[in-house]
Structure 1
């Protein structure tokens, strides 16, 4: 791994952690708050691709698992990985690989938007809702309906991540998806 890659991985882990310091917004319907960290996961996936993005998100998740308070609201530790929000975290682990695979060799904005919505919004939310339903005794239909509250914000966060990726790609040609 090159120094350039290690630096970019470290910066993106820092971005994800900083987004976690922005207080989560409880929604009351379910024990899952609105957070900005998933925008960092999406941005990491877009900027670093599937290999380095997966490495960065994996390291971030390991930091959370061993107890560093890097998750939104200052949370961390193994207990988070069995709680109601764990499905989202597990989805984060595979998001860079999935999104990076879909974007591999594609540079069209429409393709990037579609792939980001599919993986960064729908996949993450589906995993989160399925886990939530399984761990809280909430009926799957009710969990799916409650999960709809996240879609507008996640679409907005994905749009911001795409915009940042498009802007940064102009300055650094190494952010072009892997071929």
Structure 2
């Protein structure tokens, strides 16, 4: 039992490190919205798929705490309290909530032996990608005094890349779960 918990904590720390590494890649600005295209949200999805609700939340909480305290762990070397109050703040808060939503749904499906590749991808898209985009859009709308419809529609530009990230996340998670070190973690 204690060995299993140590393994889970170690994997949570490793996934936090991977999230930091994914932040080295700078965001791609779109120009018409103050939100860049980044790769770190794929790390959030992968963290949740591998660690589930509890340890996924722990890993992402640690990552966001580092960002909150000013470490340059967010895409493009950003960090600090002001980032959480800016246009991207809602997306960061959504990252914190994704493990609870996505992790719980995936866990329930896995318990009922219903977690096929396609179903996992659909759940990752709806409870991960779309959830992040909706929460982020709500915050963007409030923070930027932009109509909610405009904020939601502006996220359409992210969907092609987000679909690719969701597919890669599911492929990686399904392969990594087969590794002996990850057996029984999720």
**TM-score when normalising by structure 1:** 0.94
Cross-structure match for 1:174: 184
Residue deviations 1:59-96 (CA, integer Å, cap 9, x gap): 11111101111011111111111100000000000101
Q: After the TM superposition, which residues 101-140 of structure 1 pair with which residues of structure 2 at under 5 Å, given as runs? A: 101-105=104-108, 106=110, 107-140=115-148
Cross-structure match for 1:39: 42
Q: Determine which of 52, 61, 64 is the counterpart of 2:64.
A: 61
2:149 & 2:12 partners in 1: Cα distance?
38
| Alignment size in residue pairs | 176
Question: Structure 1 residue runs of 4+, over 4 Å off?
Answer: none
Q: Confirm whether residue 86 of structure 1 aligns to residue 89 of structure 2.
A: yes
Q: Determine which of 50, 58, 70 is the counterpart of 2:73.
A: 70
Report deviation, 1:5. Answer: 1.4
Cross-structure match for 2:7: 4
Cross-structure match for 1:143: 151
2:12 & 2:59 partners in 1: Cα distance?
5
Report deviation, 1:108. Answer: 2.0
**Unmatched runs of 5 consecutive residues or more in structure 2:** none
